[in-house]
Chain A
Amino acid sequence: MAEQPAIEIEGLRKSFKEVEALCGIDLEVEAGTVLGLLGPNGAGKTTAVRILTTLLPPSAGTARVAGLDVVRDSAALRARIGLAGQYAAVDENLTGFENLEMVGRLYHLGRSAARERAAELLERFDLSDAGARLAKTYSGGMRRRLDLGAALVARPPVLFLDEPTTGLDPRSRIALWEVIEARVAQGSTVLLTTQYLDEADRLADRIAVIDHGSLIAQGSSDELKKRVGGERIEVRLEDPTQAEAAIAALGQLAAERPWVDDGTIRVPVRQQRGAIAAAVRRLDTEQISIDDIAIRRPTLDDVFLTLTGHRSENGEAAQETDEHQADPIR
């Protein structure tokens, strides 16, 4: 299929007075896929989204969304995109239904179509019961769902979600992910910014990592993880003094020399298939008893650390891997 990319960005730059927020970004997003734009706070993610949704003019470079130029065709483009920003942009003094109806009217769906669509979205987002209540009585998760509903009112072919799950509890996050996945299954293209590595890992077909306004890597989640060094086996021994013997026994499996760290032997492997079984056999032959053995694949957090030299600034994902891994891969 020679379909035109849903988003094409070339040499995109944006500077605010003395600060350069985007320093020349090139990026393409295929129609019907999800691109995860990953980066720490202040990396330029939101600036990119604001340019692509016509809220900000670029300083230089071009960007086309759904085949339309974000500057020249901005008016036509707005009918083809949906935006859910970092703040749940709902009118607290309107009910959930009124919020969606208003957005439908502003997309010029017509009064009755706007009402039908509002009711449909409330249903889909599990807000039917709350539809007649003022949005100010909603919980954070409900507001986010309403906000995402507003972005979907016109069934836009391209959807921009700027940190859609920031500040949500785990259950609401998963619920929101499911909605986004359903939307993609129906053919929408999604550009999603996030600081959560697990979010990008789960939702995105391709991931672009930006830091300080520059694109520092892109690829599928697996490709990025490979760049960091592939899988490795981690073994804990019942008797730590046998470490040297174990390293000798596992040497043939290793892609590079294993090392010991915090009582755990780490063995980068050439291929994952059968690696655990082979390792167990070899250690067993040498009569070295195993306390624990596992295959460890690099996480996006490792990717982030390797690429940017600092950890993702966000919470759980980063901390979790911290505990597993005392020594970053180089």
Chain B
Amino acid sequence: MSATNLLVLDGLLVISLVGLAWAALAGSDARRSVILFMAFGLVLAAAWVRLLAPDVALAEAAIGSGLAGALLLAAVQEQPRQPLAARTASNSNPNKPGLSVALQLAVSVLCAALAGTLAWALAHAFNSAPQNALPRAVSSNLEASGVSNPVTAVLLNFRAYDTLLELAVLLTAVLGIFALGPARPGYQAAGPVFDGLARWLVPVLILTAGYLLWVGAHAPGGAFQAGATLAAASVVLRLAGRHQIGLPQGRALRIVMAGGVGTFVLIGLGLLVTGRPFLGYPPAWAGGLILMIESAATLAIAATLVLAFLGGQPRPLAVRVTCGNTSATPGPTGKPASPEGMRGAELRAAEVCNRIPETQKRC
């Protein structure tokens, strides 16, 4: 493709980005804004591809557009739909007419100041430093990093500290989610079409997550993309009305949640004991250590994202079984006695607590 064609494509991308962002912010319907935001994320992913950053594009498409979109849609669903008139009335409070305008002005000025500072910093960086010093430093040390994908080398080796702290931020966030109390109730069992889609989509997503984790060593991919894909599998299962969505229970869940930071810190400390700097891997071991950290991080990130979608602590399975059993009149094995009773029980259970024990739904 010629340079002019690409320029046209880039221009179209920029125009759609700004247009979508504006439409998402200016709209008054929250659901519409969320859907526009998801479209914005997809176009942004395409823009990252054009900037030759496929790793970021993958993360943006999976987390920024897909999972954040699902999260926001679920949040919109939770909120009672406010009529437009009521919302605009509460916005322009008659008692303090100047407040909202002043607030808008303040936000605009702050945003403009932030954008200006960032632009200045970017211009400064381009003008002062030799531009390819960092890429050259990375590529000359790539041999010793244990991986051949420069992005993974930076994230998990040269700047492993940053990634460790990022995982710590995620762990803190998930602790905050746990503090919100029990998760929202699940959804009704999906119809045959969505259930059929989920049946083959979930295995493909899990497989893709494993592939992204493995391929991160030498091509775009890695823990964040793999974790987001794994979380997407759980989200699909939850949307399909399952309540066993692959999330471990109780203590196992806590171990998985802390596993990312835990593995990172333990490996770092282990290296300290052997006389190397914290997270300064010996080149011979670097590949294996990075894979270990990334595997644990994938699970931790996936658990974090799923818990964010759940919006609280997952309810223990035992509660659900009791919930189903109270209306299902189970046989001695805990399963309903007859198929007819099962169907009725299924419907009643769905009415009573909106969740059906997996054993009954299977029948």
Partners in one complex: no
A interface residues (Cβ-Cβ under 8 A, vs B):
none
